[in-house]
């Protein structure tokens, strides 16, 4: 399982799991005969055809540069191969200065908001041997399934993303100054989670006093929101100092003769004040925990690279090269070292740590 169980893969028979790090798994066959790396990169939105085409160009360029820097001969330059199972399939084959042949295949599959990348290397001499190893990696990616773990969700108008706990069904609104989404769960009839937001005025962003005022407005939205049918009113408000949230309030309700709870927690995510309200059944704390967990994962969309700026990590033997899209050149000032395109590295297999929305 990867990304908190959101993506599940079947380990290839006869291959050894040699590394599990972050959102990646690495398997090896024999004494360096083959290597498969599976990497999950959660997205804010579904990759477009244009994005996939850009990924192919970036990866192809980096693979050619890597071969040139190593003095390797390109037997098959990086090229895409059609395969309706995957969003992108990229093949290349080189012969190193030591005479050894290295055959590589990069495959990408879009699974809702999960981009799954499987890279396979075959250190063999013949095409037939390569295809056998490639077939194992292709099956691994083709049979990958989405699990029941927490689900990432993103809202373009409100400019936030967060993780939805398992079992909660989303009804989207994406109102930047109102209800972003409502969640229900069949396990808890009548319970609900409501995400509300307020945009911080553009000319006062970064101002702590204005942030506080926006949070107060958000709390007023919660206080004035309609109550469930049959609930006459809230009890006296209880404000709690919470180390994780900017605001935290609790109320009690009498609903159908039973004591329900109502609580609300708020955070600041970029330029948005956002809060999660929980309507909690009697004698239950799991709904409150779900609301706490959801609120703790709220992030601004601007905190993450766009899908077009994905970092590509092909599983290259004897090491994985971190392949990054070059930053656009500046026309007004020289590029700093951090902005220039990095040279291929030769560190042990690593994948870019992608923050969970998790996450």
Distance CA 3, CA 115 (A): 11
> Which residues touch 203 (CB under 8 Å, ≥6 apart)?
none
Nearest to 117 by CA among 61, 70, 58, 31: 58
Question: Does this model's pTM top 0.85?
Answer: no
- Compute the Cα dihedral for 27, 29, 31, 35 and give only its sign: negative
Distance CA 239, CA 130 (A): 64
Distance CA 78, CA 94 (A): 10
Number of residues that make up the chain: 359
- Examine the domain organization and report whether 261 and 310 are in the same domain: no
> Which residues touch 40 (CB under 8 Å, ≥6 apart)?
2, 3, 6, 7, 23, 24, 114, 115, 116, 117
Domains in the chain, number = 2
- Examine the domain organization and report whether 227 and 318 are in the same domain: no
If you search the block for the tokens 């691994």, which residue do you land on? Answer: 140
Distance CA 75, CA 98 (A): 14
Q: Which two tokens stand for residue 52?
A: 């996939």
- Examine the domain organization and report whether 291 and 311 are in the same domain: no
Q: What is the DSSP string of 228-240?
A: PTT-------EE-
- Examine the domain organization and report whether 144 and 16 are in the same domain: yes
Are 23 and 6 a contacting pair, CB within 8 Å? no
- Examine the domain organization and report whether 87 and 181 are in the same domain: no
Return the CATH number at 107. Answer: 2.60.120.1690
Are 272 and 176 a contacting pair, CB within 8 Å? yes
Q: Which two tokens stand for residue 328?
A: 């656009």
Q: Which two tokens stand for residue 331?
A: 């026309």
If you search the block for the tokens 């009804």, which residue do you land on? Answer: 171
Residue 85 pLDDT = 93
User: If you ran DSSP here, which 8-state letter would residue 155 be given?
Assistant: E
- Examine the domain organization and report whether 157 and 299 are in the same domain: yes
- Examine the domain organization and report whether 119 and 158 are in the same domain: no
In a domain, 359, yes or no: no
Within 10 angstroms of residue 98's Cβ, the number of other Cβ atoms is 7
Nearest to 173 by CA among 160, 182, 164: 182
> Which residues touch 289 (CB under 8 Å, ≥6 apart)?
none
- Examine the domain organization and report whether 12 and 143 are in the same domain: yes
SS3 293: helix
What is the tens place of the pLDDT at every residue in 63-79? 899 888 888 888 999 99
In a domain, 330, yes or no: yes
Within 10 angstroms of residue 73's Cβ, the number of other Cβ atoms is 13
Q: Cα 124 vs. chain centroid, distance in angstroms?
A: 34
The one-digit pLDDT tens for each residue of the chain (359 residues) are: 887 778 999 999 999 999 998 889 999 998 889 999 999 988 877 788 888 888 889 888 988 998 888 888 889 999 999 999 999 999 999 988 888 889 999 999 998 888 999 999 999 888 889 999 999 999 999 999 987 777 888 999 999 999 898 889 999 999 999 999 999 999 999 999 999 999 998 777 678 888 899 999 999 999 999 888 888 777 878 999 988 899 999 999 888 888 999 999 999 998 999 999 999 999 898 999 999 999 999 999 887 543 333 444 433 333 233 233 333 444 333 333 333 333 333 322 333 333 333 33
In a domain, 325, yes or no: yes
Residue 304 pLDDT = 53
In a domain, 345, yes or no: no
Residue 109 pLDDT = 93
In a domain, 356, yes or no: no
Residue 339 pLDDT = 33
- Last residue in a domain, options 303, 325, 348: 303
Which residues form the domain of 40? 7-148+306-339
- Examine the domain organization and report whether 250 and 331 are in the same domain: no
If you search the block for the tokens 């398997």, which residue do you land on? Answer: 27
């Amino acid at each position: 399982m990867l990304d908190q169980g959101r993506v599940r893969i079947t380990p290839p028979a006869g291959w050894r799991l040699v590394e599990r790090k972050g959102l990646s798994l690495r398997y090896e066959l024999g004494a360096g005969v083959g290597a498969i790396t599976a990497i999950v990169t959660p997205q804010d939105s579904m990759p477009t055809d244009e994005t996939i085409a850009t990924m192919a160009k970036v990866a192809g360029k980096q693979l050619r540069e890597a071969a040139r820097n190593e003095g390797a001969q390109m037997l098959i330059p990086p090229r895409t191969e059609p395969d309706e199972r995957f969003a992108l399939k990229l093949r290349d084959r080189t012969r190193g200065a030591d005479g050894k042949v290295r055959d590589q295949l990069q495959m990408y599959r879009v699974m809702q908001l999960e981009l799954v990348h499987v890279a396979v290397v075959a250190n063999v001499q013949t095409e037939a041997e390569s295809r056998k190893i490639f077939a194992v990696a292709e099956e691994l990616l083709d049979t990958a399934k989405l699990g029941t773990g927490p689900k990432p969700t993103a809202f373009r108008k409100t400019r936030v993303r967060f993780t939805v706990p398992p079992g909660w069904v989303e009804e989207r609104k994406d109102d930047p100054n109102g209800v972003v989404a409502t969640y229900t769960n069949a396990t808890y009839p009548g319970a609900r989670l409501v995400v509300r937001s307020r945009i911080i005025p553009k000319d006062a962003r970064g101002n702590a006093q204005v942030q506080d005022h926006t949070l107060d407005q958000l709390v007023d939205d919660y206080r004035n929101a309609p109550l469930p049918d049959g609930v006459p009113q809230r009890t006296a408000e209880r404000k709690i100092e919470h180390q994780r949230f900017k605001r935290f309030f609790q109320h009690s309700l009498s609903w159908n003769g039973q004591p329900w709870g109502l609580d609300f927690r708020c955070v600041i995510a970029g330029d948005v004040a956002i809060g999660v309200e929980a309507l909690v059944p009697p004698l239950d704390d799991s709904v409150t925990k779900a609301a706490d967990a959801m609120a703790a994962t709220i992030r601004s969309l601007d905190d993450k690279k766009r899908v077009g700026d994905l970092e590509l990590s092909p599983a290259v033997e004897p090491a994985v090269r971190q392949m990054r899209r070059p930053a656009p050149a500046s026309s007004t000032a020289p590029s700093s070292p951090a902005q220039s395109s990095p040279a291929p590295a030769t560190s042990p297999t690593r994948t870019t740590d992608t923050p969970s929305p998790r996450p």
